[in-house]
């Protein structure tokens, strides 16, 4: 059976990923594609338990290495329980975050050595990678104020200082520069319909599927 495509969305806090993922998943379904929407950390029963440890509570409760280990534990579960079976069944998988978030947040953000993350990545993910990664880029002050207006418990990262979030943003841009074949940076500070049109155009160019 044909293997499905794996699309990931990345970006800092309040970059508008949820809205754009919803629009894309709807358009892909309308184009007749069998699509599964998922997220990290999380996306499988075990990984969702680990998610609580990461996104709730005191910003200082873990250091960068512990966060990376927790994220890669969750990722292992997510890959084996959710992502791989869906791709093997020919579905497309759209994930709200994947491994680039660990490089951006734990690596560039917390200063964990990138080589350490690469070693964990090799162990858990090997050479599997997304077919397309859309990085929604937004100035940190705009993103954080959008995120603050959401009233949820999952605010551990939002409470980290602004310099941390600036490093995360630069990290994503650096990742995109190093892997231009896979990563597309989208200016996500503007109008949602305009961003949606840009994403649809990228799906046509990169994956040869016409969505509107
Ligand atoms: P979300 O708010 O976009 O659902 O993501 C949850 C938080 O987890 C977000 O602040 C980014 C963070 N995160 C990491 O720090 N490292 C990772 O590897 C992943 C997947 C997420």
Q: How far is the C-alpha of 4 from the C-alpha of 90, rounded, in Å?
A: 4
Residue 154 has pLDDT above 60, yes or no: yes
pLDDT of residue 95: 98
Ligand 1 pocket by C-beta < 6 Å: which residues? 13, 39-41, 54-55, 67, 71, 96-97, 101-102, 105-106, 154, 157
Q: How far is the C-alpha of 168 from the C-alpha of 166, rounded, in Å?
A: 5
Residue 130 sits at the vertex; the CA angle it makes with 5 and 206, to the nearest 5 degrees, is: 65
- Compute the distance from residue 75 Cα to the ligand 1 centre, in Å: 12
pLDDT of residue 150: 83
Q: How far is the C-alpha of 68 from the C-alpha of 189, rounded, in Å?
A: 28
Residues with Cβ within 8 Å of 15's Cβ and at least 6 positions away in sequence, in order, are 136, 137, 138, 143, 188
In residues, how long is the chain? 212
Quick one: average pLDDT of 132-155? 93
- Compute the distance from residue 162 Cα to the ligand 1 centre, in Å: 16
Backbone angles phi, psi at 162, to 5 degrees: -65, -35
- Compute the distance from residue 160 Cα to the ligand 1 centre, in Å: 12
DSSP state for residue 125 in the 8-state scheme? T
Q: Are 156 and 59 contacting, i.e. CB atoms less than 8 angstroms apart?
A: yes
Q: How far is the C-alpha of 81 from the C-alpha of 209, rounded, in Å?
A: 27
- Compute the distance from residue 6 Cα to the ligand 1 centre, in Å: 18
DSSP state for residue 187 in the 8-state scheme? E
Q: pLDDT band at 152, cuts 50/70/90? A: confident
pLDDT of residue 2: 54
Backbone angles phi, psi at 17, to 5 degrees: -60, -45
Domain 6-207, CATH number (from 3.40.50.620, 3.30.429.10, 3.40.1390.20, 3.40.50.300): 3.40.50.300
Tens digit of each residue's pLDDT (9 = 90 or more) over 41-72: 999 999 999 999 999 999 999 999 999 999 99
Q: How far is the C-alpha of 166 from the C-alpha of 163, rounded, in Å?
A: 5
Task: List the residue whose alpha carbon is closest to atom 13 of ligand 1.
Answer: 101
- The atom number, within ligand 1, closest to the CA of 40 reads 20
Q: Are 38 and 94 contacting, i.e. CB atoms less than 8 angstroms apart?
A: yes
- Compute the distance from residue 41 Cα to the ligand 1 centre, in Å: 6
Tens digit of each residue's pLDDT (9 = 90 or more) over 29-38: 999 999 999 9
Task: List the residue whose alpha carbon is closest to atom 19 of ligand 1.
Answer: 101
- The atom number, within ligand 1, closest to the CA of 17 reads 3
- The atom number, within ligand 1, closest to the CA of 96 reads 3
Average predicted confidence (pLDDT) for the chain: 96
Q: Domain locations in the chain?
A: 6-207
- Compute the distance from residue 97 Cα to the ligand 1 centre, in Å: 7
């Amino acid at each position: 059976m044909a293997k499905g495509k794996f699309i990931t969305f990345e970006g800092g806090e309040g970059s508008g990923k949820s809205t754009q993922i919803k629009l894309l998943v709807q358009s892909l379904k309308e184009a007749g594609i069998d699509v599964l929407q998922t997220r990290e950390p999380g996306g499988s029963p075990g990984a969702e338990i680990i998610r609580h440890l990461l996104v709730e509570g005191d910003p200082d409760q873990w250091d960068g290495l512990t966060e990376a280990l927790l994220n890669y534990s969750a990722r292992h579960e997510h890959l084996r329980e959710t992502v791989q079976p869906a791709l093997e069944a020919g579905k497309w998988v759209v994930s709200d975050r994947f491994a680039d978030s660990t490089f951006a947040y734990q690596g560039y953000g917390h200063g964990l050595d990138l080589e350490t993350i690469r070693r964990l990545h090799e162990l858990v993910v090997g050479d599997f990678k997304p077919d397309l990664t859309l990085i929604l880029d937004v100035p940190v002050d705009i993103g954080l104020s959008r995120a603050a207006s959401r009233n949820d418990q999952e605010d551990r990262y939002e409470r980290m200082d602004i310099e941390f979030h600036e490093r995360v943003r630069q990290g994503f841009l650096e990742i995109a520069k190093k892997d231009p074949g896979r990563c597309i940076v989208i200016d996500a500070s503007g109008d949602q319909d305009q961003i949606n049109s840009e994403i649809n155009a990228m799906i046509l160019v990169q994956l040869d599927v016409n969505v509107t």
